[in-house]
């Protein structure tokens, strides 16, 4: 088990568009396992590769309640191919410490990707799973949920975060 350090705002890796994965090799399988370990330890329900400093199109997700058997999902090169509905949900992020805000997302999404073995997979998400998929895929485009909230709320958080960093409260 390897728990990786999580990058936090304003680390520049979080604002980069990530590279496609050409082939799922042993190193990437290990990275995805380390990301799952990191996500569970945090604890979180999703984690994208840039959050651990890697600019790769890789996300891990597990929206299963903690009192149930984990059902991890590993997605390489995920892309949304279908969206419908609309829902507002209070989101937080492991890379955006001490902040949550309402974000409007699609209520249902369909994602195509490669699984942990490099095979094609289609995932349909509703509710929390749909929100998590959209949140994590935003990371692969260099976006945080901060980019989806009002400019005033975003500005207030950024100012507070800069003060935290200066004080050493990271």
The catalytic residue positions are 136
d(CA 144, CA 64): 23
Name the DSSP class of 22: S
43 preceded by cis ω (within 30°)? yes
Instruction: Give the closest residue to 52 by CA, choosing from 69, 28, 79, 73.
Output: 28
Both ends of the chain: CA-CA distance in Å? 24
d(CA 168, CA 83): 41
* H-helix or E-strand spanning residue 46: strand 46-48
In the three-class reduction of DSSP (H, G, I as helix; E, B as strand; rest coil), residue 145 is classed as helix
Largest CA distance in the chain: 46
């Amino acid at each position: 088990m390897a728990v990786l350090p999580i990058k936090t705002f304003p680390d520049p890796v979080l604002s980069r568009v990530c590279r496609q994965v050409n082939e799922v090799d042993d190193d990437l399988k290990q990275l995805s396992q380390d990301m799952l370990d990191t996500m569970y330890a945090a604890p979180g329900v999703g984690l994208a590769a840039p959050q651990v400093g890697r600019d790769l199109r890789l996300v891990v997700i597990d929206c299963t309640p903690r009192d149930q058997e984990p059902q991890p999902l590993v997605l390489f090169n995920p892309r949304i191919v279908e969206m419908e509905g609309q829902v507002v949900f209070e989101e937080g992020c492991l890379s955006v410490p001490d902040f949550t805000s309402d974000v409007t997302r699609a209520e249902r999404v369909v994602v195509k990707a490669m699984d942990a073995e490099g095979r094609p997979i289609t995932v349909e998400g509703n509710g929390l799973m749909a929100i998590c998929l959209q949140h994590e895929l935003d990371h692969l485009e260099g976006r945080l949920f901060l980019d989806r909230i009002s400019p005033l709320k975003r500005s207030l958080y950024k100012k507070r975060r800069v003060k935290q960093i200066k004080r050493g409260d990271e």
